[in-house]
Chains A and B, each alone.
Chain A
Amino acid sequence: MTAIAEPLKSRARPSAAQMARWAISDSLVMTRRNLLVWLRVPAYIVFTVVQPVIFVLLFRYVFGGAIHAPGSGGYVSYLMPGIIGQTAAFATFATAIALAQEATKGVIDRFRAMPMARSAVLAGRLIADSIRMLIVILVIIGVGYAVGFRFQNGVAGAVGMVLLAEIFGITICSVSAFVGLAIKDEESVQAFGLIWIFPLTFVSSAFVPIATMPGWLQVFANNQPVTLVINAMRAMALGGPDFPLNPSLWESLLWLAGILIVFVPLAVWSYRRVG
């Protein structure tokens, strides 16, 4: 390699098309890297796959008998869209923790001193996490089928449900990315995740009909985005008069769009501030 110092003013910059190609290929390299790490660490797989499976079995067989669910499929059919929604939300813990680790270890700094696209660290993380999320959701659906769950609204409904779960998960990922990069300390990130993700997923229609909750709690549960998302998922998976699709679907999409509009810029902003 010859290094000839050019005069300061004349310099060729890569074209916009080249920059875009690099941004895509860099994001894919980062995606592959993140997925490889996930596959190499048994603890991550246990945390992301085994834990939701345990939830399925626990709610199906331990709590299920005590909960009366609407619809014709029994509690297990009511439960599965809820568990899948919760799984998508929980999967984002890993997003926050991984970004917090990379920020504190100085890894992000090193990437930023390289010619790689700046967007690739966040993009690669979100893509890898949504692929991981999809794999986990499919595993859970398989386990659900083994314990009596059935989609009752056709293939399109089933695909729609998985798609909405993914959009929901990616949206929560953007919140987690911001939390991880803003707090940076791994343990605080974990603790903080529990504080906001647990109430949101449990005080919702995910596991029990909201009508069984005390009145003051119903006000919150009925109007928070997780309930809306899960109601829409349930409508797509099960159909029928007990589970109307709207207004849950468009209300949940509005919520998700609103959350993305706020938290994607916040995540990018906190990523720029790292270091």
Chain B
Amino acid sequence: MALTNTDFAIEVSALHKSFGKVHALRGVDFAVPRGSVLGMLGPNGAGKTTAVRVLTTLLRPDSGRVIVEGYDVVRDAAAVRRRIGLAGQATAIQLELTGRENLEIMGRLNHMPRSSVRGRAAELLERFEIADAADRPAKTYSGGMQRRLDLAASLIAEPSVLFLDEPTTGLDPYGRLGMWDIIRELVGRGTTLLLTTQYLEEADELANTIVVVDHGEVIASGTPDRLKDQVGGDLLEFTVPDRAQLDDAVRAVAGLSDSAPTVETDAKRIKVPVGSGGSTALVEAVRRLDAAGVVTEDLALHRPSLDDVFLAVTGHAAEAAPDGAAKGQKSPAAGVAS
């Protein structure tokens, strides 16, 4: 058997896992380079959580191989556990205890010496902006704070690989942005991260590589830009109230990208596919339309959503009703992972 490739923190090959007749994972392959972020994108029930549970030693795979930091998750589960952190939708914090107590308990359970636990907990409380509430019971915290505390708890022993299972599901937009900042900072420090999400936007913001999972299979993978290009990338859309200006508008925006604008004459709407150059194209469009003296309404950049990716890759929407003909297993599989 070959030695592990030291460039990868996580290597998954031909991973299968079934629950009775439901195939939650059907031959999943991917690898995560050390220090990078893999975004695992897919709808509820796609198999994301099952994959994370296998990778974090919580579930035994039926077949296939999973290596984390050079250790096999089945044969060397204990060694894997010493090197990983896990945080997710379900928080492991004890709400009756204070933030500090929660972190110190987690540190002790990670076999850190008592002396270093105190300092490490204080540092994390400071870094994650919980210091002011450190000695209040965690049940008095906001949802975002509880999630940050939970993330801090998973980082207490400085894991080199971190698994985040839908870290922002259920958070308000403010909480989500706060979480993104923290995740970016972590990655800046060299932590390898695998994160699952239902939001393309989130994967786009945080991940170096995205794997799209559906019905237990990887149906697409690549950089966020490549995936977005696959679905046509960003789309610039606007309305021209004065029908007489429609042609001027089309001429003004025609050179924005390689793709030609499409015009819905009745709706007086113009759409321009602009690939991954969204924001630049938006500014350029405003400048050109203004120069041409065209008055517009509802000028906006439409970014591709998870649904767009799914439509492009599989031909069906992410949260679609059962499409028995295409994949068959939709409804049973949906019950597995969540």
Residues on A lying within 8 angstroms of B by beta carbon are: 1, 3-9, 11, 13-14, 22, 25-26, 29-30, 32-33, 36-37, 40-41, 105-107, 109-116, 120, 275
Interface residues of B in 200-234 (CB under 8 A from A): none
Q: Tell me how many residues of B have a C-beta within 8 Å of chain A.
A: 45
A107 pairs with B92, CB closer than 8 A: yes
Please list 23 pairs of residues, one from A and one from B, whose beta carbons are closer than 8 Å in the complex, sorted by A's number: A3-B83, A5-B5, A5-B6, A6-B70, A8-B67, A30-B109, A32-B105, A33-B94, A36-B97, A36-B101, A37-B94, A41-B96, A106-B88, A107-B90, A107-B94, A110-B90, A111-B109, A113-B58, A113-B81, A114-B106, A115-B78, A115-B82, A115-B110
Interface residues of B in 219-262 (CB under 8 A from A): none
How far is B104's CA from A29's CA once the two chains are assembled, in angstroms?
A: 10
Closest to B7 in A: A5
| Chain B residue contacts of A29, Cβ below 8 A | 105, 108-109
Q: Which of B5, B76, B90, B110 is within 8 Å of A105, CB to CB?
A: B90
A275 pairs with B67, CB closer than 8 A: no
How far is B72's CA from A33's CA once the two chains are assembled, in angstroms?
A: 32
A1 pairs with B70, CB closer than 8 A: no
Q: Which of B6, B79, B81 is within 8 Å of A114, CB to CB?
A: B81
Q: Given A25-B108, A106-B88, A113 and B160 touching (CB < 8 A)? A: no
Instruction: Find the residue from A41, A115, A120 having the highest chain B CB count within 10 A.
Output: A115
B97 pairs with A37, CB closer than 8 A: yes
User: Is B34 an interface residue, CB under 8 A from the partner?
Assistant: yes
| Chain B residue contacts of A6, Cβ below 8 A | 70-71
How far is B196's CA from A75's CA once the two chains are assembled, in angstroms?
A: 64
A36 pairs with B96, CB closer than 8 A: yes
Q: Given A8-B72, A29-B105, A1 and B3 touching (CB < 8 A)? A: no
B3 pairs with A8, CB closer than 8 A: yes
| Chain A residue contacts of B160, Cβ below 8 A | 1, 3
| Chain A residue contacts of B96, Cβ below 8 A | 36-37, 40-41
Closest to B3 in A: A7
Q: What is the minimal beta-carbon distance from B271 to any residue of chain A, in angstroms?
A: 44
User: Is B69 an interface residue, CB under 8 A from the partner?
Assistant: yes
Closest to A275 in B: B58
How far is B83's CA from A120's CA once the two chains are assembled, in angstroms?
A: 20
| Chain A residue contacts of B72, Cβ below 8 A | 8
Interface residues of B in 132-161 (CB under 8 A from A): 137, 154, 157-158, 160
| Chain B residue contacts of A110, Cβ below 8 A | 86, 88, 90, 92, 154
Q: Given A33-B94, A33-B97, A41-B96, A112 and B105 touching (CB < 8 A)? A: no
How far is B111's CA from A116's CA once the two chains are assembled, in angstroms?
A: 7
How far is B91's CA from A107's CA once the two chains are assembled, in angstroms?
A: 7
| Chain B residue contacts of A22, Cβ below 8 A | 111
A106 pairs with B90, CB closer than 8 A: yes
How far is B82's CA from A5's CA once the two chains are assembled, in angstroms?
A: 13
Q: Given A13-B78, A37-B97, A40-B96, A5 and B69 touching (CB < 8 A)? A: yes
User: Is B44 an interface residue, CB under 8 A from the partner?
Assistant: no
| Chain A residue contacts of B9, Cβ below 8 A | 3
